[in-house]
Amino acid sequence: MTTVLVTGGAGFVGAHICKALAARGDRPVVFDNLSAGHEHAVRWGPLVRGDIRSAPDLDRAFAEHRPDAVIHFAANIEVGEGQRLPLRFWDNNVAGVVSLLAAMERAGVAPLVFSSTCAVYGEPDSVPITESESLKPVSVYGRTKLAVEQLLADVASVGGVRYAALRYFNAAGASPDGEIGEEHDPETHLIPNALKAAAGIGGRMKLFGTDYDTRDGTCIRDYVHVMDLADAHLAALDLLLSGTRALTANLGTGHGASVLEVLRAVESVTGLAPPYDVHPRRDGDAPILSADLTHARAVLGFEPKRSDIETIITDAWRFHKRAWGV
């Protein structure tokens, strides 16, 4: 049995990875300050309440639970917030990882799976995006995630950490049994917002931009089911535990859905048309983002199983119906 310290394990993607770890007999220990995560999403192992920027908090968790590896999710993720509060993002997302790596070194733990993002590419020169695309993030959020990738490469070059940087495209969906799902506050992501509007909660959805150079004028994104992400994390963890020193991989599906296609899929799954108003473009939204999966397939054996848009929305809806009592 492998014990894994999961920072940010009370959040959306983190909680699903904890569930997947437990399902195969591993032991997730959640380390979370609950600033964005939810205590009710910690169900498959102990919760250590702590902050990644606190050496004493981390040392306590390593001493008490003796993890074999770390999966790191704890971070600020809302792109607009990062533009307003850059210092907060650099402190939590970057200084937090310096603190985490130092604690791992003190504890003699080397394997680290890092939750990175397609935001490191910014507006890519071509899609689908390969890992060798130039890295030109256009947001504070993307720059902090890229800085951590560079930090990991530097520390790994002297043998201090073995890492996997997983660049997610649009994480979505929910556990198919409806047990856990996406619960951001405020919610900025398209699928939960479209489901909210369909359910008649919180008014009409805002659709940001219908004048992009895409097949229907709205942005195209590569939505990937959180359970498929979980499989990739387990595969990355196993590689690091068996000695792989560094890997970086995109996680998406290789194709995308436009905002209008997502809204149509929400209507077909729920039977309810989400009401929406067209608003101007949102700052920093690239027209099309989708992942080239060649590398993830080769190194992680990654093959999305639940990431067609209908399955993603069906699973998300099952969770939200229960959570919202609709």
Question: What is the closest distance, in whole angstroms, from the C-beta atom of residue 209 to ligand UFG in the complex?
Answer: 6
d(CA 219, CA 210): 8
Least Å distance between CB 231 and ligand UFG? 19
- Tell me which of 59, 81, 261, 285 binds ligand UFG, using CB under 6 A: 285
Say whether 212 is catalytic.
no
Q: Output the smallest distance, CB 232 to ligand UFG, in A.
A: 16
164 beta partners: 113, 247
Interaction pattern, residues 64-103, with ligand UFG; x per rule: CB under 6 A: -------------x-x------------------------
Q: Which is nearer to ligand UFG, 112 or 259 (CB)?
A: 259
For the CB of residue 244, give the shortest distance to ligand UFG in the complex, in Å: 26
Mention every residue, 6+ apart, whose C-beta is less than 8 A from residue 18. 6, 9, 28, 30, 42, 43, 44, 45
**Is residue 59 a contact point for ligand UFG (CB under 6 A)?**
no
Instruction: List the Cα angle 304/305/311 in 5-degree steps.
Output: 115
Report the site for ligand UFG in 97-126 (rule: CB under 6 A): 117-119
Which residue number, 205 or 239, has a Cβ lying nearer to ligand UFG? 205
CB nearer to ligand UFG: pick between 148 and 289: 289
What is the Cα–Cα distance from 207 to 312, expressed in whole angstroms? Answer: 20
Binding mask 244-263 for ligand UFG (x = CB under 6 A): ---------------x----
Residue number with CB closer to ligand UFG (50 or 142): 142
Q: Which of residues 179-208 bind ligand UFG (CB under 6 A)?
A: 188-190, 193, 205-208
* Among 141, 168, 223, 276, the one annotated catalytic: 141
Q: Write out the catalytic residue numbers.
A: 141
Which chain residues interact with ligand UFG by CB under 6 A? 77, 79, 117-119, 141, 170, 188-190, 193, 205-208, 219, 221, 259, 282, 285, 289
